[in-house]
Amino acid sequence: MFIDETIDLRKDLPQGLQNDFAELREYYDAGDWLRFDIFFEAVEASVKAYYIAGKISREDLDRIFMKYGIR
């Protein structure tokens, strides 16, 4: 479980994703690994759904996955 601080994401990603990333950050910063891990699974599914719906690009998907260690 990590967040790669060297990877920047687009500032205009869908608001729902931005909210999810902010919540993940709260758990990460607090060291609440259980909540981070549980919520992370939902965020991963959400990111994939945004991609399938055409709301984020393949590049966005790849950057998000790299930032949150999915790959």
Would you say how long the chain is, in residues? 71
Q: pLDDT per residue over 3-38, tens digit each? A: 999 999 999 999 999 999 999 999 999 999 999 999
pLDDT confidence band for 2 (50 / 70 / 90): confident
Determine, yes or no, domain membership for 1: no
Determine, yes or no, domain membership for 48: yes
DSSP string over 8-64: ---TTS-HHHHHHHHHHHHHHHHT-HHHHHHHHHHHHHHHHHHHHTTSS-HHHHHHH
Determine, yes or no, domain membership for 44: yes
pLDDT confidence band for 71 (50 / 70 / 90): low
Q: Is the pLDDT of residue 57 over 90?
A: yes
Determine, yes or no, domain membership for 9: no
How much is the pTM?
Answer: 0.89
**Structural domain containing residue 22:** 15-67
> Are 1 and 36 within 8 A, CB to CB?
yes
